[in-house]
Amino acid sequence: MKQIALVTGATAGFGKAIATRLVRDGYRVIATGRRRERLDALAAELGPDLLAFELDMTDAAAIAALPGSLPEGWREVDVLVNNAGLALGMEKAQEADLANWQTMINTNVTGMVELTRVLLPGMVARDHGHVVTLGSTAGTYPYTGGNVYGATKAFVRQFTRNLRCDLLGHNVRVTNIEPGLCGGSEFSTVRLRDPAKAAAVYEGTRPLLPEDIAETLSWIIALPRHVNINEVEMMPTCQAAGGLAVARG
Ligand code: NDP
Ligand code: 8X3
């Protein structure tokens, strides 16, 4: 019997690479996101082991109704991949757009915890499951303009750690993957709303790629059931944490 993975944000970037990888690894995958046509294209490419399921992570009612909305045979999710998320803007906090902050919090934090809360009881009842979240190095290392985006990823990290405490005694694993600079996704285009500026983020670098994240996740969930990888921080070789800043008068 194939395991079922639900991957949020499977219309682009990491989520698309993860969904593709997991179908090839032998999972049945529920691929979610807002852009229906992309989900349908993925289903056409990957076949019957991929279920396209439109889901907006800011729609609390749709998330609450999710288990009952899934077709028969797709309701017992073994692996939840909390991948959907975004950064909006690079402005300093004092200049940032409050609506952008709210969208990041609603998607990266609120939607993510709601979906996790909806799927966890089934995993606990079946004594089998794995929740994998996409954190970020931005949740650990501050940078100018990272303000609320980084804070949402710090939330993701601590939420993951606290889930491990609550789930102790159950065979439900929890992992946070925290990548640094990663190209090949729409992340910077969404954040900067300017393809040229987005391309400049990766100029002269060899960043991580979505397939590197998918490879890491594939390894983590394939490990024997008694092994829980708590968190993985990963950066491209061309990146390292920077130093502290000083303002000189
Ligand atoms: P992309 O922009 O390529 O993909 C983001 C995905 O999230 C899309 O599939 C999008 O689907 C989905 N999404 C965004 N908002 C919503 C929403 N309201 N409801 C449902 N789905 C939504 O970004 P990445 O693949 O790069 O990023 C994936 C995750 O990894 C994010 O959580 C990001 O913060 C994190 N991350 C990214 C890094 C990077 O450098 N790229 C590094 C570290 C972490 P749709 O628009 O169709 O709804
Ligand atoms: C994405 C990595 O450094 O752009 O989470 O915030 S960074």
pTM over 0.80: yes
C-alpha of residue 193 to centroid of ligand 1, in Å: 14
247 CB burial (10 A radius; 0-12, 13-18, 19+): exposed
Q: Which of 35, 40, 86, 113 for a ligand 1 pocket mutation test, highest count of atoms within 8 Å of Cβ?
A: 86
Task: Give residues (CB < 6 A) around ligand 1.
Answer: 8-15, 33-35, 56-58, 83-86, 107, 134, 136, 179, 181-182, 185-187, 190
- For residues 198 and 188, give the distance between their C-alpha atoms in angstroms, rounded to a whole number: 5
Determine contact, residues 26/222, Cβ cutoff 8 Å.
no
Tens of each residue's pLDDT in the chain, 249 residues: 999 999 999 999 999 999 999 999 999 999 999 999 999 999 999 999 999 999 999 999 999 999 999 999 999 999 999 999 999 999 999 999 999 999 999 999 999 999 999 999 999 999 999 999 999 999 999 999 999 999 999 999 999 999 999 999 999 999 999 999 999 999 999 999 999 999 999 999 999 999 999 999 999 999 999 999 999 999 999 999 988 999 999
Q: Which ligand has the minimum distance to the alpha carbon of residue 138? A: 2
Q: Which ligand has the minimum distance to the alpha carbon of residue 19? A: 1
C-alpha of residue 25 to centroid of ligand 2, in Å: 28
C-alpha of residue 181 to centroid of ligand 2, in Å: 6
Closest Cα to residue 112, out of 140, 133, 138, 130? 133
228 CB burial (10 A radius; 0-12, 13-18, 19+): middle
Region of 159 (left: φ > 0; alpha: ψ -120 to 50; beta: rest) is alpha
Strand, helix or coil at 58?
A: coil
The per-residue pLDDT for 235 is 98
Determine contact, residues 60/11, Cβ cutoff 8 Å.
no
| Nearest ligand 2 atom to alpha carbon 201 | 4
Handedness of CA 86, 12, 26, 223 (dihedral sign): negative
- For residues 30 and 75, give the distance between their C-alpha atoms in angstroms, rounded to a whole number: 10
* Residues classed as catalytic: 149
Residue spans of the domains in the chain: they are 4-233
The per-residue pLDDT for 140 is 98
Q: Which ligand has the minimum distance to the alpha carbon of residue 182? A: 1
Give the Å distances, CA to CA, from 26 to 12, 168, 222, 238. Answer: 21, 28, 11, 33
Helices assigned H by DSSP within the chain? 13-25, 36-46, 60-64, 66-69, 98-104, 112-126, 147-166, 187-192, 195-201, 210-222
C-alpha of residue 204 to centroid of ligand 2, in Å: 17
- For residues 224 and 109, give the distance between their C-alpha atoms in angstroms, rounded to a whole number: 29
219 CB burial (10 A radius; 0-12, 13-18, 19+): exposed
Domain boundaries 4-233, corresponding CATH code? 3.40.50.720
